[in-house]
Amino acid sequence: MRIMLNDTPIQLATNCTVAELVQQQQLKTEGLAVAINNVVIAKQHWSKHQLQNNAQVQLFQIVTGG
């Protein structure tokens, strides 16, 4: 299946969860937040939340700022 990851199309195996996507992208989970179709996904649901075809996945991270 295909999803949009921060506006970049990527191919994924079906039944991929948010946690698996984060792992696949080799991302540190601390300071990371995920929204799918503009809904924030709580960290404790990442391992259960399955991505759907054409999902708009947005990743955000904590950075420095005032």
Binding site for other proteins (CB under 8 A): 5-6, 8, 25, 27-28, 30-35, 38, 40-43, 58-66
Q: How far is the CB of 34 from other proteins (least distance, A)?
A: 7
The CA distance from 44 to 64, in Å, is: 25
Q: How far is the CB of 11 from other proteins (least distance, A)?
A: 15
Q: How far is the CB of 15 from other proteins (least distance, A)?
A: 22
Q: Show Cβ contacts of residue 36 under 8 Å, excluding neighbours closer than 6 positions.
A: 18, 49, 51, 55, 56, 57, 58
The CA distance from 59 to 66, in Å, is: 21
Nearer to other proteins by Cβ, of 13 and 63: the residue is 63
